[in-house]
Structure 1
Amino acid sequence: MGADEVVTAEDGTRLWATRGGEGAPVVCCHGGPGLWDFLGDLAGLLADRATVYRWDQRGCGRSQRRGPYSVARSVADLDAVRRHFGLERMALLGHSYGAQLALQYALDHPERVSALVYVSGSGIDARDTWRSAYHRNLRANLGADVDRWEALGDREQRTEAEIREWCVLQWSADYADREKAREQAEESATPWFGVNFACNATVNADVNRTSGTPELLAACQELEVPVLIVHGAEDIRPDWALDSLEQALPRVSRTLLDGAGHLPWVERPHAFRAVVGDFLARELPFHGR
């Protein structure tokens, strides 16, 4: 991928970004909130079909540790990334919370978005409609590690090594192949940039306030941007949580990838590349070689 770049947000906050590949612009939004961009392998799968832009959200990873934190602030920062790279319009690809961020940007600025790839998101209903199923699935996948995960999570004071261990355990539940899950979670935590828990709590509260509202539903019903929903069949976040989003969007297609959990490009790279690449080639004004 390309060299590191510094994007300056409207309030002067410095955001890390990079780009690579060839073709129409696709800007990625990583999950979290409070984490960092871990979409390098995903970007590599699309590098011969698109110019892929990645960035660390405010307060996260290689970006400046500085608030304020909110979905609206993240939308403005994403627009700063767009302006920095001189993009008039762009496709967006968001993963997990990043899918919600990308969707919100498209709702706020549809004229600047050519297409949206919504990967492993959780839909637009209130979060309490699916969270209990998520927690059951999480504990089931953790198996014998659940006691250690709970013990680390309950500690008031944790070292950075203990925080990383807790994250690796939790992230291991996100993979369909249980034999490889711990190894894959370790890879996603390397390099380790630390978790911004203040960002996580504040932005999640922001998301909770808007999820399931009539206003969000109505806005999605008016969105004319083409959307591809991609979800792993074995994601511990239930696929049915996406039904309301699919039903609300006027221009939408949906793909469920068997044998994949929350990071489908890791476990089903060829299938992921095919479905996302075909969608981008169909919907974008031009594409790579």
Structure 2
Amino acid sequence: MAYSSTKAANLNVYIQGQGFPILGIHGHPGSGRNLSVFTNHLSKRYKTFAPDLRGYGKSRFNGKFEMYDHLTDLEALLDRFEIEKCLLLGWSLGGILAMELALRLPQRVTGLILVATAARPRGSHPPISLQDNIYTGVAALLNVIQPSWQWNIETFGKRSLFRYLIQQHTPTAYDYIAKEAVQAYWQTSTTATSALSTALRSSYNRLTELKQIHCPSLVLAGEQDRHITAQSSLETAQHLQNSQWHCYPNTAHLFPWEIPQQVLGDINCWLSLHPQVVGQ
């Protein structure tokens, strides 16, 4: 991933807590608020920063840009808040950017928590039908009006594209979808989508560069993830120098919303084993 020469965008950022800084990076489509499952928990002990990336959420941006422009923006955010060192947590696209930032700024990144992501991302998503799109639209709309309505989950949710994003159609997962996913989808700009599509067409692959990352890494995956397969996440974990790997059965790409307590518990355990990543 080349480095940008464009001027950094001033990102909207959600800040919680006090203590060692943790920078959370969301996926596509998404916003900083999508990381609340992590930041609400971690901010009890640390200071969390969850920006809306350029072209997402409230970080509006006019004009085209490329994926590497996000790195310029994130480095500028660290400078803006005078963050000398931080732990990075990235979900999906955010995990890719976290690895890129660790390659770009190795002295400033103490550790990586990589969620449903890969340095050579591969998917196994089936073709999308018109019925898929219709059921997804209806399921999403009804879920916003009445979150976690069991009739909607059974009638539309399990037949919609949600079935590839989650495996456990629980009220907890649908509550997160209602509160955070739908708004983030509508706030994701076409230029952000175009930048991601261009990067994916270039057959992105940074596996060989991962040996340059020496900080501890926690790699988490959903066994049934069709967007970024668990196998590609495992491949990433195997190429990292100092990594721990967890794969959760009967979950998919949005597994932190399916089994939040289990995921947060595993993060807590990893942090206790690697206190240096939070400056201890």
Interval containing the TM-score (normalised by the shorter chain):
0.7 to 0.9
Please list, as runs of the form range in 1=range in 2, the aligned pairs for 1:46-195 lying within 5 A after superposition.
46-121=42-117, 123-125=118-120, 127=121, 130-131=122-123, 133-135=124-126, 147-150=130-133, 169-171=160-162, 173-178=164-169, 180=171, 184-191=176-183, 193-195=186-188
Match of 2:214 among 224, 229, 240: 224
CA distance in 1, matches of 2:39, 2:131: 34
Q: Which piece of structure 1 moves more, 15-24 or 74-83?
A: 15-24
Cα distance 1:97–1:274, how it changes in 2: closer, same or farther (>3 A)?
A: same
Cα distance 1:178–1:98, how it changes in 2: closer, same or farther (>3 A)?
A: same
CA distance in 2, matches of 1:149, 1:204: 21
CA distance in 1, matches of 2:162, 2:61: 23
Cα distance 1:183–1:90, how it changes in 2: closer, same or farther (>3 A)?
A: closer
Match of 2:30 in 1: 35
Q: Which piece of structure 1 moves more, 48-57 or 278-287?
A: 278-287
CA distance in 2, matches of 1:269, 1:200: 27
**Superposition deviation, residue 254 in structure 1:** 0.5
Cα distance 1:109–1:199, how it changes in 2: closer, same or farther (>3 A)?
A: same
What does the per-residue CA deviation read over 1:213-232, in whole Å, with 9 as the maximum and x for residues that have no partner?
Answer: xxx23311221121110112
- Contact kept, 8 Å, 1:265 with 1:272, in 2: the verdict is yes
**Superposition deviation, residue 75 in structure 1:** 0.6
Please, what TM-score do these two structures have when normalized by structure 2?
0.78
Give unmatched runs, 5+ long, in structure 2: 1-5, 142-156
**Superposition deviation, residue 182 in structure 1:** 5.2
- Contact kept, 8 Å, 1:175 with 1:260, in 2: the verdict is yes
Match of 1:244 in 2: 235
CA distance in 1, matches of 2:106, 2:162: 33
Amino acid at match of 1:225: C
CA distance in 2, matches of 1:12, 1:101: 15
- Contact kept, 8 Å, 1:35 with 1:196, in 2: the verdict is no
- Contact kept, 8 Å, 1:30 with 1:96, in 2: the verdict is yes
**Superposition deviation, residue 286 in structure 1:** 7.4
Partner of 1:43, secondary structure, is: helix
Match of 1:209 in 2: 202
- Contact kept, 8 Å, 1:57 with 1:74, in 2: the verdict is yes
Partner of 2:111, secondary structure, is: strand
Match of 1:143 in 2: none
Amino acid at match of 2:212: E
Cα distance 1:119–1:244, how it changes in 2: closer, same or farther (>3 A)?
A: same
Please, what TM-score do these two structures have when normalized by structure 1?
0.76
CA distance in 2, matches of 1:48, 1:93: 16
Match of 1:7 in 2: none
Q: Tell me the matched-pair count.
A: 254
Q: Which piece of structure 1 moves more, 191-200 or 102-111?
A: 191-200
- Aligned-pair Cα RMSD in Å: 3.0
Match of 1:200 among 187, 193, 197: 193
**Superposition deviation, residue 262 in structure 1:** 1.9
Cα distance 1:287–1:195, how it changes in 2: closer, same or farther (>3 A)?
A: closer
Partner of 1:114, secondary structure, is: strand
Asked if residue 277 in structure 1 is aligned to residue 268 in structure 2, the reply is yes
Give unmatched runs, 5+ long, in structure 1: 1-9, 140-145, 154-160
CA distance in 1, matches of 2:215, 2:112: 7
**Superposition deviation, residue 187 in structure 1:** 3.0
Q: Work out the percentage of aligned pairs sharing the same amino acid.
A: 19
**Superposition deviation, residue 147 in structure 1:** 3.6
